[in-house]
């Protein structure tokens, strides 16, 4: 009798177990309309933007805009503005990443605040076309403030203007792969560029594994993650395979708001350093975790750094 019950029940229990704990990640894309405006033709930028939108449709993703990247010869390009409108028309959210992408730690706070407001001159009316208002803010370089007084002032400023900070848990060196990829493409080395895509996807999956483990060590469970990548040629070509890899890893793609509904995001931030590190590590620092907590994070391999002409992460 018992045996029979188990035979009947086990597939059901398995299904319940899977449904109860799907992994969750919010996909966030920085430096819209493109982090490669100076190294690309308008036609290439437009085509990449369309491919990124096509890949992101239905994923609850959000893009973060630098409005100075909308400008050509000092004036906002109507074509580039339309690229952003295409994101909203596809149901993908947009947030503010400052006008000029200056880091908080190298910028006077008044200038930084101005850059946030300058970063919504196009964004606010554009969002209004879709019945939305600016809501999400992402710090350039993830520099969130080294002094408490400055953080308090910035928090108040963001709150007054209706913004919520968009943290990142799966921080990574995707920008280095992206630079290597674009330089190879621009040099006509298409096969070498193509070969970089599976390496990039393996690297990001290793990062996910690392931060899943960090999440378990800190919270005893896997929290809803937030991935940061950029609007670039690499992701225009790699996103479908990357998203498929994440789906196979058990991830559902959720909105930033849904990810941040995870109580983990209420954790105190113990980091006051210069670098742009994962919020999982910022939270760990508030708990004074030992050095070993942070060890084992996958690194960008030296050949990729060399291809990108980058000294380090
Ligand atoms: Zn950025």
Using the mean position of ligand 1's atoms as its centre, give its distance from the Cα of residue 230 in Å. 7
* β pairing state of 225-230 and 23-32: parallel
Question: pLDDT by residue (tens digit) across 157-182?
Answer: 999 999 999 999 999 999 999 999 99
What's the alpha-carbon Rg for the chain, to the nearest Å?
A: 20
H helix or E strand, kind and range, residue 279: helix 279-286
Using the mean position of ligand 1's atoms as its centre, give its distance from the Cα of residue 31 in Å. 5
What integer pLDDT is reported at residue 21 of this predicted model?
A: 65
What ranges do the domains of the chain cover?
24-308
| Dihedral pair phi/psi, residue 178, rounded to 5° | -65, -40
Residue 250, by phi and psi: left (phi above 0), alpha (psi -120 to 50) or beta? left
DSSP state of 115: H
* β pairing state of 93-96 and 225-230: unpaired
- Report d(CA 144, CA 150) in Å as an integer: 9
Using the mean position of ligand 1's atoms as its centre, give its distance from the Cα of residue 64 in Å. 8
Report the pLDDT averaged over residues 301-308.
98
Using the mean position of ligand 1's atoms as its centre, give its distance from the Cα of residue 20 in Å. 34
* Residue owning tokens 């239905």: 58
| Helices (H), ranges, 108-189 | 109-118, 123-129, 148-160, 174-186
Q: In this structure, which topology does domain 24-308 adopt according to CATH?
A: TIM Barrel (3.20.20)
- Cis, bond preceding 33 (omega within 30 deg of 0): yes
- Report d(CA 39, CA 185) in Å as an integer: 11
DSSP state of 170: B
pLDDT-derived band at 106, boundaries 50, 70, 90: very high
Using the mean position of ligand 1's atoms as its centre, give its distance from the Cα of residue 178 in Å. 13
Using the mean position of ligand 1's atoms as its centre, give its distance from the Cα of residue 167 in Å. 13
H helix or E strand, kind and range, residue 75: strand 75-76
Residue 31, C-beta contacts closer than 8 angstroms, at least 6 positions apart: 64, 66, 69, 97, 101, 230, 231, 232
Beta-bridged to residue 296, according to DSSP, are none
Report the pLDDT averaged over residues 98-118.
98
Question: pLDDT by residue (tens digit) across 214-254?
Answer: 999 999 999 999 999 999 999 999 999 999 999 999 999 99
Please, what is the average pLDDT of the chain?
94
Using the mean position of ligand 1's atoms as its centre, give its distance from the Cα of residue 2 in Å. 58
Report the pLDDT averaged over residues 114-141.
98
């Amino acid at each position: 009798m018992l045996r029979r019950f188990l035979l009947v029940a086990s597939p059901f229990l398995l299904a319940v177990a899977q449904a109860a704990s799907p992994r969750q990640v919010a996909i966030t894309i920085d430096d819209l309309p493109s982090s490669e405006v100076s190294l690309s033709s308008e036609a290439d930028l437009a085509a990449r933007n369309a491919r990124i939108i096509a890949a992101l449709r239905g994923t609850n993703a959000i893009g973060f805009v630098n409005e100075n990247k909308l400008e050509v010869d000092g004036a906002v390009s109507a074509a580039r503005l339309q690229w952003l409108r295409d994101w909203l028309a596809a149901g993908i959210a947009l947030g503010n990443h400052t006008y000029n992408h200056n880091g908080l730690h190298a910028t006077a706070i008044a200038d930084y605040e101005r850059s946030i407001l300058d970063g919504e001159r196009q964004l606010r009316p554009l969002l209004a076309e879709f019945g939305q208002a600016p809501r999400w803010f992402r710090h350039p370089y993830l520099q969130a403030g080294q002094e408490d007084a400055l953080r308090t002032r910035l928090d108040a400023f963001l709150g007054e203007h209706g913004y919520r900070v968009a943290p990142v848990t799966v921080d990574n060196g995707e920008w280095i792969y992206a630079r290597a990829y674009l330089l190879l493409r621009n040099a006509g080395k298409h096969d070498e560029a193509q070969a970089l895509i599976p390496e990039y996807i393996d690297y990001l999956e290793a990062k996910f594994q690392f931060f899943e483990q960090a999440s378990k060590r800190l919270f005893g469970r896997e929290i809803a993650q937030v991935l940061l990548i950029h609007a670039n040629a690499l992701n225009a070509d790699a996103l479908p395979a990357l998203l498929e890899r994440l789906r196979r890893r058990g991830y559902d793609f959720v909105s930033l708001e849904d990810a941040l509904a995870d109580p983990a995001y209420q954790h105190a931030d113990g980091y006051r350093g210069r670098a742009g590190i994962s919020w999982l590590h910022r939270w760990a620092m508030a708990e004074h975790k030992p050095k070993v907590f942070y060890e084992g994070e996958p690194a960008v391999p030296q050949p990729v750094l060399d291809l990108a002409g980058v000294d380090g992460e």
